[in-house]
Structure 1
Amino acid sequence: MELIDLELTFNEIKSSVNEIEFRDVQLSDDFKIEYERYISSNAANGYSEVKWTDFSTRIITSTGKSIFLTNYWFFIASKLAVYLEGLNAHKQVFKQIFDGENLQEIATSLRGGLTDEQTSLIQNFFTKSGYSLQSFEFFIKFVSDYGAWGGGKTIDRNDYYVSPLLQAGKLLAETQSAVAEIAKQFAENPVLRHSFLPTFVPVSNPLKVKVLPHIISESSRGKFVYNLIEFLIKEKIQKSIFECLIERDINLGNYNLEFNGYRLTTFFKVSNAPLEEEQLKRGDKIRFFEKPFTLNSKMYYLSNQWTDGTLSRLDIQSLIPIFNTLYENYEIVIENETYILKKLDHHVTLQVSKPFLLLAGISGTGKTRFVREQAKSTGSIDGTYCLTSVRPDWHEPSDLLGYVSRLGNKPQYVATNVLRFIVKAWREIIKKIEKDDNGHALDWRGRELDDIRPFWLCLDEMNLAPVEQYFADYLSVLETRCWNEPDKLQDSDLKYVYECEPLIKGEVFTSLDADISGEANNDSDKPSTQLAKDLGFDLTKPLDKDIWDYFLAHGISIPFNLIVAGTVNMDETTHGFSRKVIDRALSFDFGEFFPNNIDEFFDAKSEPKKLSFPLNSHAKLKQFQSIAADPDAAKTKAFFKAINEVLLGTPFELAFRAFNELCLSVISFAPKNSDELDAVFDDFLMCKVLPRIEGDEDKLTTRKGGALLQQLTETLSEALKTIWDSERIDLLRESKGSDDKVIKVRCRSKLKLEYMQSKLDSGFTSFWP
């Protein structure tokens, strides 16, 4: 047996601890049984009894004292147990070499440096025992260089392992030494460690409001209110609060702030001209800030007579509810006697699994409005929304992305609104362009993901023209998206890496500048410069110029924050979709997912959840660790294999792409239990599987000659048995005006299969209404 390199292992564990994502942890029943058995038989560290809750544990010692710990500690301990086994192997060798001697004196002596005699003794032992030279070197470091492996107390002591384990796990010794003890228990009992199969629970609901850093933080009440008004005026959002000003005394120019029963008297003194110091006094004290706010040629002097909790005429406890009601995107809070203004970011982290949506249904159901409202909820109509009406005569990608015209004296790239919108989305992402020593653009660095808004491109009446033709470039490039390629991410200091092949190559733009002889045109008014201006760039600004230079060198690819939503009417005036299109999109039968309820026309009881762009392109097994309902992806694999068993050998058979997108859906919605997991499976069937199925009885026959829809129904009735004959959670809508946001609906795939079977009885069936 060889010894391990403790220094290397120590550093690897420290590094891996940095990458561990904090989660609530549920312990399996098998582990609880094994741990109770271990405690009762060993009384390890005086532990005599253990009590469990969902996410925490109480350990009772033999003296009746209690240790309360989160179940996450068991997870950390399981990781540290491997390191402890290596430590114990080194210590065992130490005890064998110096058997019969005073181990404390020996350990202290070796820690100060080995004598030649000690080195010779250790080397002879390693040679006779068949250890390698490398193991000898590892051991020398163990006994003499404690800093290399996190050691503290000398290695002769029974508790020598506590310090290195706490350092490797980056834990506080004062509060978390129990982790080291549990790691020791894991190391001593392999059965205990092997039974440890925890379930990781997501940190929070995928739909959440994110709080951004503080805008104002001030301990003085008066200064906080002054800075607050100054901020509102600077941001040009003062209107709401100024509309609540009520004139109190026309002679003195005093105005109250009144709203919803709250009254703050003499909030402002208003004047058409600057006021002298004496005019701001009452008695011998100045009652207003001397620097006014100027609006519409009037000067507003804010009162400085603010209190907190005294119910006086100007109490900040009255201002807070007024402000928080008027400004839904901001919030005033008090923390540690400090007054804070925060901005609430209503962007969401519920990500669609694919950035290409097909919204199909009859005319007038609100498909285009749905896209518009999504854009408004996370951005603005002017900023993050683009509506493009598809024309029936579109047949090639240039209709969507633009083309080169060589009419006139110089070539010109004729841009489209879609291309301008794509560039706009990229400018939302990029904060810096990295260059080589010659100033050539190499790569881009993006802003924080939480600060990037989704950009919604709505292709209205998308199938008026053949989608496979005018949308061909997008459909192909869409499949080249890659998030966080391991080698590239590991070799950089980036938080994320996104790569995608270009929709338009850079040579298309640079070739515009070549003259008839093929030489570069150095004219400052060259075609590529004109195109940059047309796309919204100001090349006098360094970042704009850098981004444009990057596009010239590398082309323009699909920005990851771009969500394309095509509205679709399936009737005799439109084109159908091939499986190439359906396989690359999330297809929604709009009436099924977002039904028109006439009873709610004037007073809606539900609303669509806010959606954002995906942050994954290829599912990884480790991403399932945080999925409480399926932490090892076993249920997801079993479901996919069950439905594909029916489809094998038919034109509707599924492959890797479909399984990847099923996994991405599970990761995106993070179901917490079997019912929610089945709801994800149900929607996957509706978006990715059933839209591909169409034809007559001959086409809808399995490889064994059975009726495909009937066999699929039988398979799903078992695979989705928790929701098949009951209701399931609606993953894409929530209730309005109620604390309970959950909406329940019937199993969608069951209803759709019944509909498709009834159509097949007439000779031909399809998914679409």
Structure 2
Amino acid sequence: MPSSDQEQQFYRVLSEYRDKADGKVPEDQLTRWVTPDDGPSIANAGGIRSQRIARAPAGSAPAFIYLFTSHVRTVFDNPWTDKIDHDTATVEYWGDAKFGKERSGGNRLLRQVLSMPPENRPPILHFVRVRVGFVRFSGLCVVREITERDYEDSEGNHVSNLFVQLAILDAPEVSAAWIRARVMEGPDADFGPFAPAAWQRYRTGELVALSPVHANVRLSEVTPMALATLTINDALKLLISQIERDGYIYQPWQIAAYITAIRTRPFVILAGVSGTGKSRLPALVARLTGMPAPQRVAVRPDWNDSSEVLGYTDLQRRFRPGMVLQQMRTAASDPCRFHTCLIDEMNLARVEYYFAELLSSIEDCVPDAHGGFRSTPVLMQQVPDEDAHWQHQFLPPNLSLVGTVNVDESTHTFSRKVLDRAFTIELSHVDFSESPTPTAQTEQSSPWTADMLISKCRRVADVPISDTEFPGILGQTNDLLTRINRLLVYSQMQVGYRIRDEVSIFTWNAREVLSSFRTRAGIAVDPLDLAVMMKVLPRLTGSSGALRQVLAGLIELALTGQDGSLHSDPTEAVTAWEQNGRPGSVEGAALPMTHARLCQMWQRLEHEGYTSFWH
């Protein structure tokens, strides 16, 4: 009989468990849990494994089959992408054939299962490797269909592989006691006290699929490995301290702004001089929040359409999905984790050329069943019928597009269409007097879940009416942007409702983590000031007399908080800023960071006859 502790061992759908690959390690929640005393363990055979029945003759059906899907390695190296969909209670799983090795051990096991009558087939437990040392339980599954399909891999090799379609049974939790009993007793354990009711019904010929209610309950819960007591404010403080202990220097407000931006919009631009950690920041955040490593897309100067990003149909009428489209599919099939697609040096080519469809789809969004918002299908081209599933691919709520930007003479400027749809965070602060001091960190579970990072509200209308703080934030935003627009209209650069919504929702989201909006010296940073600098100032570029007057009025407004005049003289304010060492924030100004950047833009206009937000 199992002990009381063993009776509490359950695999719950969409919960995570520690896999140390060693049943002797006390922390192990996979091999250790499923292995009976003096009984057989899981065979160590890659992604398709079996666990035999004790004392069963050779060639007998196994007690269990374990299927593992890995999202640790990039899917761009694997033309077969597994899909787990808890809304439809299905799993699409590819076998383990490779070029030159079609007859693999895992596929032989799957063929053995197919040859059995359905009532004699062993139960299948499906797991996803969410990160090193952890797996997430997808559910108790049975085979619906196994077919053989031919695929042309990235090197042009034709490979025959098995395509397995599984149904997830209506068993929101599976007792490890049943697993151990079935290993020792075989199918006789299926009608014992620990067997799931859904499996018992399947044995009698009735297939009951997992209810979406059960799946959604699991999605809303914090996994066993998470520190559920931490609020997002505490979690962000921990993240900032972890990054600092790793030896990296960022201003706390930069990390807070990055997290708040991806919680507001799915598109963020990190700008700055080379070597200031633009690509490193998303990687650090992903690793320390327990999310998948960002998938990097390196932009080339010759990109003039979306072929590399979304895909194209080749001369053989086969659709070749682009790198970003593949990442969308990966994220959509993994809703419990937040994914990041890093578009490196995105302005080496004209962004509006290769990113046009995505820029449009970011705006065209609908509520998603897992929470947050997803886009409508991103592909505008027609694809062949056999690749029609790509035609419906959308940008899921748990995927953020993060672009890095080096601004120099060899790169392209951004159009307003691009800037209006992104939050621009600059990482140009360099202070060599601040030395990194890395310290040893003990491994600990991450308190972050995907739900903490996805955007809950995309427009002002999405904010719950019951929220008592938002009307004040919206009123303050409306007042400030109205006064800014009185100046911008003179040069036809005024902002619209989209930017109003983004500034107000960014400021609203920031209130939950307000203590992290500070410099390393502890000086508070106003999220509204930061949002105005990120969303309004990048639009200002040129050399016209109208722009000159607009900058003068904005400098007055940012300094005093009062309406600015197109005829004001900013010389005194700019001189004071320069004599103070050209700081990134002007103490005492109504909008300290916005005022400092406006002074810099004015000075560049004076010296070079042209100015922009970018250095």
TM-score normalised to structure 1 length: 0.41
Q: Given the superposition, is the C-alpha separation of residues 420 and 457 from structure 1 closer, same or farther in structure 2, using an over 3 Å criterion?
A: same
The equivalent residue for 2:538 is 691
Instruction: Judge conservation of contact 2:377–2:394 (CA < 8 Å) in 1.
Output: yes
The equivalent residue for 1:417 is 323
Q: Given the superposition, is the C-alpha separation of residues 748 and 291 from structure 1 closer, same or farther in structure 2, using an over 3 Å criterion?
A: farther
The 5-angstrom pairing of residues 148-297 of structure 1 reads 223=6, 235-237=18-20, 242=25, 291=38
The equivalent residue for 2:382 is 508
Q: CA deviation at 1:419?
A: 1.9
Q: Distance in 1 between matches of 2:419 and 2:514?
A: 29
| Structure 2 residues not aligned, in runs of 5+ | 45-132, 137-222, 233-259, 441-446, 518-523, 565-584
The residue type paired with residue 278 of structure 2 is: K
The equivalent residue for 2:507 is 666
Matching of residue 388 in structure 1 with residue 286 in structure 2: no
Alpha-carbon displacement from aligned partner over 1:570-626 (angstroms, at most 9, x marks no partner): 00111111111111111111225xx56663323389xxx988231222112853753
Q: Distance in 1 between matches of 2:351 and 2:280?
A: 22
Q: Given the superposition, is the C-alpha separation of residues 358 and 599 from structure 1 closer, same or farther in structure 2, using an over 3 Å criterion?
A: same
The residue type paired with residue 508 of structure 1 is: Q
The equivalent residue for 2:340 is 456
The equivalent residue for 2:602 is 757
Q: CA deviation at 1:695?
A: 2.5
Q: CA deviation at 1:235?
A: 4.8
SS at 1:459 equivalent: strand
Instruction: Judge conservation of contact 1:629–1:672 (CA < 8 Å) in 2.
Output: no
SS at 2:224 equivalent: strand
Q: Given the superposition, is the C-alpha separation of residues 591 and 292 from structure 1 closer, same or farther in structure 2, using an over 3 Å criterion?
A: farther
Matching of residue 372 in structure 1 with residue 283 in structure 2: yes
Instruction: Judge conservation of contact 1:455–1:563 (CA < 8 Å) in 2.
Output: yes
Q: Given the superposition, is the C-alpha separation of residues 390 and 462 from structure 1 closer, same or farther in structure 2, using an over 3 Å criterion?
A: same
Q: CA deviation at 1:561?
A: 1.7
Q: Distance in 2 between matches of 1:752 and 1:461?
A: 23
Q: Given the superposition, is the C-alpha separation of residues 641 and 345 from structure 1 closer, same or farther in structure 2, using an over 3 Å criterion?
A: same
The 5-angstrom pairing of residues 595-606 of structure 1 reads 599-603=434-438
Instruction: Judge conservation of contact 1:702–1:708 (CA < 8 Å) in 2.
Output: yes
SS at 1:691 equivalent: helix
Instruction: Judge conservation of contact 1:630–1:636 (CA < 8 Å) in 2.
Output: no
Residue of 562, 567, 587 corresponding to 1:725: 587
The residue type paired with residue 667 of structure 1 is: W
The residue type paired with residue 437 of structure 2 is: F
Instruction: Judge conservation of contact 1:457–1:564 (CA < 8 Å) in 2.
Output: yes
Alpha-carbon displacement from aligned partner over 1:359-394 (angstroms, at most 9, x marks no partner): 11111111111122223234454xx52101001100
The equivalent residue for 2:356 is 472
Q: Given the superposition, is the C-alpha separation of residues 473 and 348 from structure 1 closer, same or farther in structure 2, using an over 3 Å criterion?
A: farther
Q: Distance in 1 between matches of 2:303 and 2:489?
A: 36
Q: Distance in 2 between matches of 1:717 and 1:329?
A: 56
Residue of 405, 418, 441 corresponding to 1:581: 418
The equivalent residue for 1:767 is 613
The residue type paired with residue 455 of structure 2 is: P
Q: Given the superposition, is the C-alpha separation of residues 571 and 348 from structure 1 closer, same or farther in structure 2, using an over 3 Å criterion?
A: farther
The residue type paired with residue 397 of structure 1 is: S
Q: Given the superposition, is the C-alpha separation of residues 569 and 716 from structure 1 closer, same or farther in structure 2, using an over 3 Å criterion?
A: farther
Alpha-carbon displacement from aligned partner over 1:128-166 (angstroms, at most 9, x marks no partner): xxxxxxxxxxxxxxxxxxxxxxxxxxxxxxxxxxxxxxx
Residue of 224, 238, 248 corresponding to 1:342: 224
Task: Mark the structure with the bigger radius of gyration.
Answer: 1
The residue type paired with residue 668 of structure 1 is: N
Instruction: Judge conservation of contact 1:402–1:413 (CA < 8 Å) in 2.
Output: yes
Matching of residue 358 in structure 1 with residue 358 in structure 2: no
SS at 2:319 equivalent: strand
Residue of 458, 477, 489 corresponding to 1:617: 458
The residue type paired with residue 477 of structure 1 is: S
Instruction: Judge conservation of contact 1:483–1:617 (CA < 8 Å) in 2.
Output: no
Residue of 626, 644, 659 corresponding to 2:467: 626
The residue type paired with residue 377 of structure 1 is: L
Q: Distance in 1 between matches of 2:510 and 2:328?
A: 27
**Identity across aligned pairs (percent)?**
25
Alpha-carbon displacement from aligned partner over 1:58-77 (angstroms, at most 9, x marks no partner): xxxxxxxxxxxxxxxxxxxx
Q: CA deviation at 1:227?
A: 8.8
The equivalent residue for 1:544 is none
The equivalent residue for 2:121 is none
Q: Given the superposition, is the C-alpha separation of residues 623 and 600 from structure 1 closer, same or farther in structure 2, using an over 3 Å criterion?
A: farther
The equivalent residue for 1:537 is none
Q: CA deviation at 1:671?
A: 5.9
Instruction: Judge conservation of contact 1:686–1:748 (CA < 8 Å) in 2.
Output: yes
The residue type paired with residue 454 of structure 1 is: F
Q: Distance in 2 between matches of 1:674 and 1:365?
A: 24
* Count of aligned residue pairs for this structure pair: 370
Q: Distance in 1 between matches of 2:552 and 2:610?
A: 13
Q: CA deviation at 1:694?
A: 2.2
Q: Given the superposition, is the C-alpha separation of residues 471 and 748 from structure 1 closer, same or farther in structure 2, using an over 3 Å criterion?
A: same
The equivalent residue for 1:397 is 306
SS at 1:648 equivalent: helix
Q: Distance in 2 between matches of 1:685 and 1:654?
A: 11
The equivalent residue for 1:700 is 547
Instruction: Judge conservation of contact 2:311–2:319 (CA < 8 Å) in 1.
Output: yes
The residue type paired with residue 619 of structure 1 is: V
Alpha-carbon displacement from aligned partner over 1:511-544 (angstroms, at most 9, x marks no partner): x24xxxxxxxxxxxxxx2xx48xxxxxxxxxxxx
Alpha-carbon displacement from aligned partner over 1:681-730 (angstroms, at most 9, x marks no partner): 11112210111112236142447xx83343343454799xxx963599xx
Q: CA deviation at 1:757?
A: 2.5
The 5-angstrom pairing of residues 494-643 of structure 1 reads 498=373, 500-505=375-380, 508-509=382-383, 512-513=384-385, 528=386, 531=387, 548=389, 555-592=392-429, 599-603=434-438, 612-620=453-461, 623=464, 625-626=466-467, 628=469, 631=472, 633-643=474-484
Q: Kindly indicate which of the two structures has a greater share of residues assigned to helix.
A: 1
SS at 2:326 equivalent: helix
Q: CA deviation at 1:481?
A: 1.5
Alpha-carbon displacement from aligned partner over 1:33-64 (angstroms, at most 9, x marks no partner): xxxxxxxxxxxxxxxxxxxxxxxxxxxxxxxx
Instruction: Judge conservation of contact 2:18–2:134 (CA < 8 Å) in 1.
Output: no
Q: Distance in 2 between matches of 1:356 and 1:378?
A: 19
SS at 2:428 equivalent: helix
Q: Given the superposition, is the C-alpha separation of residues 577 and 715 from structure 1 closer, same or farther in structure 2, using an over 3 Å criterion?
A: farther
4+ residue runs over 4 A deviation: 219-228, 232-235, 238-241, 289-297, 327-330, 345-351, 494-499, 595-598, 629-632, 671-678
The 5-angstrom pairing of residues 430-445 of structure 1 reads none
Q: Given the superposition, is the C-alpha separation of residues 629 and 725 from structure 1 closer, same or farther in structure 2, using an over 3 Å criterion?
A: farther
SS at 1:626 equivalent: coil
Q: Given the superposition, is the C-alpha separation of residues 714 and 403 from structure 1 closer, same or farther in structure 2, using an over 3 Å criterion?
A: same
Instruction: Judge conservation of contact 2:272–2:407 (CA < 8 Å) in 1.
Output: yes
| Structure 1 residues not aligned, in runs of 5+ | 1-218, 246-267, 269-273, 275-288, 298-326, 331-340, 430-451, 485-493, 514-527, 533-547, 729-745
Alpha-carbon displacement from aligned partner over 1:421-454 (angstroms, at most 9, x marks no partner): 111122224xxxxxxxxxxxxxxxxxxxxxx322
Instruction: Judge conservation of contact 2:16–2:134 (CA < 8 Å) in 1.
Output: no
Q: Distance in 1 between matches of 2:317 and 2:472?
A: 57
Alpha-carbon displacement from aligned partner over 1:238-258 (angstroms, at most 9, x marks no partner): 66984999xxxxxxxxxxxxx
Q: Distance in 2 between matches of 1:624 and 1:748?
A: 31
Q: Given the superposition, is the C-alpha separation of residues 482 and 415 from structure 1 closer, same or farther in structure 2, using an over 3 Å criterion?
A: closer
